[in-house]
Amino acid sequence: MKIDTKKYNQEFLGSGFQRRLTDAEKQAIMIEIEKSKISREKASVIMNRGFILYFSFLIIGFTAYINDYITRDVLNLLVLGGFIVLIIGAVPYMQGMRKAEKALDDLLKYIFNK
Q: CA 107 to CA 41: how far, in whole Å?
A: 19
92 vs 84, higher pLDDT:
84
Cα gap 63→79, rounded to integer Å:
12
Residue 76 is inside which H or E element, if any? helix 72-112
The model's pTM is 0.63
Instruction: Compute φ and ψ for 72, nearest 5 degrees.
Output: -65, -35
Backbone angles phi, psi at 113, to 5 degrees: 55, 45
pLDDT for position 14: 55
pLDDT above 90 coverage of the chain, percent: 12
Mean local confidence (pLDDT), 74-100: 88
pLDDT at 90 over 80: yes
pLDDT computed for residue 4 by the predictor: 58
15 pLDDT above the threshold of 60: no
58 alpha carbon, distance to own chain's centre: 25
pLDDT higher than 60, residue 92: yes
Instruction: Specify whether the CB–CB gap between 76 and 83 falls below 8 A.
Output: no
Arithmetic mean of pLDDT, 31-38: 85
Quote the CA–CA distance of 27 and 5 in Å, as a whole number.
11
